[in-house]
């Protein structure tokens, strides 16, 4: 079985079978990262352009490692260093990448839909590494992989996503991916951070963390952007932490095997306390490790194949 598109633009465009394929394939790649020689020749001679037009360290490094462990050549273009900073429009950047015969572009952009725009301009595949408040599909896939690894399944799980749903691409991709594989998702946060119509994406909405905590198999705390406070979306970080922060008292009321997740980087003391972040149920570092394997799987599935028999 193959992925249906040359691009990975969002979870929305994937069906359940494709998600399962990526997770299964990632299983094969996890072993490689544990070896002394963390490299296989699979994508030798392939060129991957990592086009990060919004600052990011984790995702960029994760993709770069994934590409290199598959022996692909990975070239980084970042906003500050590139012609984009000099006012080059994305269309020209796309044409330039095309002329360099890249096999795949991994793109991070602050504007929702930018990878879709790029994908229409160029022949080679595009992976969305996060676009505005829209989607971050590889993050959701690595989150699913981590949940499946720890809990053995996705279907039927109750997942609680806490925080700034309105501005979070991680939340959107996770809601879509989890519901596609049969999990039940509840988003929790102040109404100012819950976007209109989110329920139509197939999740429940709650404004009271304490009433939903007890049933959760997974609690997923989102990073709170500190500048939201000045946009009158909540009164203070102190009040946010009191109402929606994951602290020891709340962690104590979780089911015994419930997982605690966070996409990083964490604001310790705000959405999650240091004590909770370091609990054994916290799988934040697993998420990072699995990120490389999942991204290797995606690279392999997108450009490891070809036409013919």
For other proteins, the binding residues (CB under 8 A) are 1-2, 12, 24-25, 27-32, 35-37, 39-43, 46, 70, 89-91, 109-114, 116-117, 131-135, 166, 169, 172, 195-198, 200-201, 297, 300-301, 303-309
**Greatest CA separation found in the chain?**
61
CB nearer to other proteins: pick between 92 and 249: 92
In 113-132, which positions are buried (b, 16+ CB within 10 angstroms) versus exposed (e)? ebbbbbbeebebbbbbbbbe
Q: Which is nearer to other proteins, 178 or 213 (CB)?
A: 178
Contact predicate 260/279, CB 8 Å: yes
Nearest approach in angstroms of CB 283 to other proteins is 21
Q: Based on CB atoms, which residue is closest to other proteins, 228 or 250? A: 228
Minimum gap (Å) between residue 279 Cβ and other proteins: 29
In the bound state with other proteins, the residue whose beta carbon lies nearer, of 133 and 254, is 133
Place of tokens 């086009």: 51
CB of 195 to other proteins, least distance (A): 4
Q: Residue 240 or residue 300: which is nearer to other proteins going by CB?
A: 300
Place of tokens 């465009």: 13
* Cross-strand pairs, 260: 219, 282
Helix 90-99 vs helix 114-121: crossing angle, to nearest 10: 50
Q: Distance between CA 154 and CA 152 in Å, rounded?
A: 7
The residue among 296, 6, 12, 299 whose CA lies nearest residue 140 is 12
Of 219, 245, 62, the C-alpha closest to 136 is: 62
CA angle 39, 45, 48 (to 5 degrees): 85
Question: Of the two residues 94 and 251, which places its CB atom closer to other proteins in the complex?
Answer: 94
Q: Which is nearer to other proteins, 196 or 280 (CB)?
A: 196
Burial class (CB in 10 A: 0-12, 13-18, 19+), 146: buried
**Shortest distance, position 214 Cβ to other proteins, whole Å:** 27
The CB-of-2 to other proteins minimum distance in angstroms stands at 5
Residue 245 beta carbon to other proteins: minimum distance, rounded to whole angstroms = 24
* C-alpha closest to that of 49 among 117, 108, 120: 108
Nearest-approach distance from CB 85 to other proteins, in angstroms = 15
């Amino acid at each position: 079985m193959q992925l249906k598109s040359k691009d990975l633009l969002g979870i929305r465009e994937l069906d359940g079978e494709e998600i399962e394929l990526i997770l299964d394939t990632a299983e094969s790649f996890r072993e490689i990262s544990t070896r002394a020689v963390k490299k296989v020749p699979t994508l030798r001679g392939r060129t991957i352009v990592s086009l990060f037009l919004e600052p990011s360290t984790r995702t960029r490094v994760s993709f770069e490692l994934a590409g290199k462990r598959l022996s692909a050549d990975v070239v980084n273009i970042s906003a500050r260093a590139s012609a984009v900073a000099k006012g080059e429009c994305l269309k020209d950047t796309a044409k330039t990448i095309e002329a360099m015969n890249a096999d795949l572009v991994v793109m991070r952009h602050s504007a929702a839909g930018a990878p879709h725009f790029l994908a229409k301009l160029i022949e080679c595949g595009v992976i969305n590494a996060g676009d505005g408040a829209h989607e971050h599909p590889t993050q959701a896939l690595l989150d699913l992989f981590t949940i499946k690894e720890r809990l053995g399944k996705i279907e039927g799980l109750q997942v609680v996503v806490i925080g700034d749903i309105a501005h979070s691409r991680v939340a959107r991709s996770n809601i879509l991916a989890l519901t596609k594989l049969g999990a039940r998702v509840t988003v929790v946060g102040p109404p100012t951070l819950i976007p209109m119509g989110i329920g139509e994406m197939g999740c429940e909405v709650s404004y009271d963390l304490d009433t939903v905590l007890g049933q959760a198999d997974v609690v997923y705390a989102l990073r709170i952007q500190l500048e939201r406070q000045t946009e009158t979306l909540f009164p203070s970080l102190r009040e946010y932490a009191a109402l929606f922060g994951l602290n020891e008292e709340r962690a104590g009321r979780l089911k015994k095997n419930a997982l605690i997740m966070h996409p990083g980087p964490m604001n310790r003391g705000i959405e999650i306390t240091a004590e909770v972040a370091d609990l054994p149920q916290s799988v934040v570092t697993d998420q990072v490790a699995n990120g490389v394997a999942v991204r290797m799987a995606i690279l392999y599935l997108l450009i490891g194949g070809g036409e013919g028999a």
